Amino acid sequence: MAKKITTKDEDFSQWYQDVIREGKLAEHSPVRGCMVIRPNGYALWENMQDALDQMFKDTGHENAYFPLFIPKSFLSKEAQHVEGFAKECAVVTHSRLKSTGDGVEVDPESRLEEELIVRPTSETIIWDSYRNWIQSYRDLPILINQWANVVRWEMRTRLFLRTMEFLWQEGHTAHATKEEAIQETEQMLEVYRTFAEDYMAMPVKTGVKTESERFAGAVDTYCIETLLQDNKALQAGTSHFLGQNFAKAFDVQFQSSEGQHEYVWATSWGVSTRLIGGLIMTHSDDQGLVLPPKLAPNQVVIVPIWKNDEQKAKVLDYCDEIITELEALNIRVKLDDRENMSPGWKFNEHEAAGIPLRLTIGPRDLKNNNVELARRDTLDKNIVNRDGIAQKASDLLETIQNELFETARERIEDNTHSVDTYDEFKEVLDKEGGFIYAHWDGTAETEEKIKDETKATIRCIPLEEGEKGECMVTGKPSKQKVLFARAY
């Protein structure tokens, strides 16, 4: 088979696009900056949704749905919020088209009395509803999550990592006290960390964003950050403590148990299909996609081989028995019994799709009561006894999940540095990249100077306190080292 995937070393950006194409995850749509998510990609997203949705429900949250369109006046109510999203909003100005000789055009008589914004995020429309739902402390907390699509008018896009329209979940909660809201924000950050590490096998750093990097309208933004194979960072999820900003903007008050009227405290938090991009760049190789078993749409693929109809019947019966055993252990299995493709073609296709385990079964395997077992992550192949094959597969899937995490953890650890001077910072950044811990004086001016001169940003301020020191740029006092990297 002709080489289809550019190597990472040759061109990392092209490699990423090739992996998506050959894995049949997504493709560009006719609308610039948008994507078509193909069945393989959507099945992966569904598995992410299922795991996260259960984690949300286990922490007391419920799902709801709010409108796609937001009155423009709503975004004007929270000044920081509208300023943060003003340049990314798609605006609906008319409600219909009319036919012309050459097709259709906007009917000028259908101009809307108030223009509508296609949601870039849903705080404003949701807090308008919360105003009607909340009167007393007995109505709190409200713990709502929404699975939805949003639109942000991006100029430079990349499949999954940054598109004009993307899928995500957004949690929006309301609380009686500041302490409860902060606890919620931190709890959801931990949910994201657990999901990233336990399901995606993607190690992350946690921390708080600087003022210039925090969510528009938030008091504090907590985040999970990971380091990809090209040594660039990716913000994989955020959890925001919103204080009382949106409650005051939409006049959402409640009567406390003492009879006082107070503004409620808020949070919001979200992850998106960007996680799929992070997953690809964390684990995949020059053969294509590599998926952690917990999220793989198919955990095992069985490729039967035969030369005649008699062999075919026996081999497929043998496969059916194994499928029954695998499914009894809740293993997601696919049988590839297509007759118009060679085994080699199938092997390449399933490798590109990232299926963690492949079982190959032919007449010789039936005779010897064996199965050929191939791991996608290491490309190792072994002949194993068919007895107890389901448990062997289950154990191996767990091993693959754990080893993918450890491999990624070791890579990130090897590419995490600590420096004291600005010259050392720039040298490490240019030669090696990766995560770099360095002292910063806490000012936006120094942060912007570093960004302008090096293209590196502060990914987060670690939650755990570090040693005090001097800023690598200005020499002014620094409370602790913060995490820098060049990023997507």
421 lies in the same domain as 469: yes
Residue 33 falls within a domain, yes or no? yes
Residue 293 falls within a domain, yes or no? no
- For residue 259, what is the domain's CATH number? 3.30.930.10
Asked whether 137 and 255 are in contact (CB, 8 A), the reply is: yes
- Structure-model confidence comparison of residues 49 and 1, the more confident one: 49
Residue 483 has pLDDT above 60, yes or no: yes
Residue 369 falls within a domain, yes or no? yes
Average pLDDT for residues 220-224, to the nearest whole number? 98
pLDDT digits (tens, 9 = 90+) for 87-138: 999 999 999 999 988 899 999 999 999 999 999 999 999 999 999 999 999 9
The tokens 């004007």 sit on which residue?
76
340 lies in the same domain as 473: no
- For residue 360, what is the domain's CATH number? 3.40.50.800
Nearby residues of 131 by Cβ (< 8 Å), 6 or more positions away: 250, 251, 252
| Total-model pTM | 0.96
**Integer Cα distance of 96 and 243 in angstroms:** 40
114 lies in the same domain as 240: yes
> In the listed set 283, 308, 340, which residue is the last one of a domain according to the structure?
283
Average pLDDT for residues 260-283, to the nearest whole number? 98
Average pLDDT for residues 320-328, to the nearest whole number? 98
Residue 13 falls within a domain, yes or no? no
258 lies in the same domain as 202: yes
The band of 86, judged by pLDDT with boundaries at 50, 70 and 90, is: confident
Residue type present at position 476: K
**Integer Cα distance of 374 and 372 in angstroms:** 7
Residue 242 falls within a domain, yes or no? yes
The band of 11, judged by pLDDT with boundaries at 50, 70 and 90, is: very high
389 lies in the same domain as 426: no
345 lies in the same domain as 453: no
**Integer Cα distance of 234 and 165 in angstroms:** 19
**Strand residue runs (E) in 259-395:** 261-263, 265-272, 300-304, 333-335, 357-361, 370-375, 381-385
Nearby residues of 30 by Cβ (< 8 Å), 6 or more positions away: none
Least confident of 59-68, 83-92, 243-252, 380-389: 83-92
> In the listed set 336, 365, 396, which residue is the last one of a domain according to the structure?
396
Considering only CA atoms, which of 137, 375, 175, 84 is closest in space to residue 257?
137
- Identify the pLDDT of residue 305: 97
Return the percentage of the chain with pLDDT > 90, whole number.
95
pLDDT digits (tens, 9 = 90+) for 403-457: 999 999 999 999 999 999 999 999 999 999 999 999 999 999 999 999 999 999 9
Token pair for 405: 């995490």
Average pLDDT for residues 42-66, to the nearest whole number? 98
Asked whether 236 and 274 are in contact (CB, 8 A), the reply is: yes
Residue 289 falls within a domain, yes or no? no
The band of 3, judged by pLDDT with boundaries at 50, 70 and 90, is: low
383 lies in the same domain as 437: no
138 lies in the same domain as 257: yes
> In the listed set 366, 396, 426, which residue is the last one of a domain according to the structure?
396
- Identify the pLDDT of residue 2: 47
Residue 94 falls within a domain, yes or no? yes
How many structural domains does the chain have? Answer: 3
- For residue 454, what is the domain's CATH number? 3.30.110.30
Bond preceding residue 141 cis, omega within 30 of 0: yes
Considering only CA atoms, which of 254, 20, 34 is closest in space to residue 132?
254
Taking CA atoms, 85 is separated from 159, 247, 324, in Å, by 21, 19, 52
423 lies in the same domain as 311: no
310 lies in the same domain as 276: no
270 lies in the same domain as 185: yes
274 lies in the same domain as 346: no
Asked whether 33 and 164 are in contact (CB, 8 A), the reply is: yes
Residue 446 falls within a domain, yes or no? yes
Domain that holds residue 307: 300-396
Residue 307 has pLDDT above 70, yes or no: yes
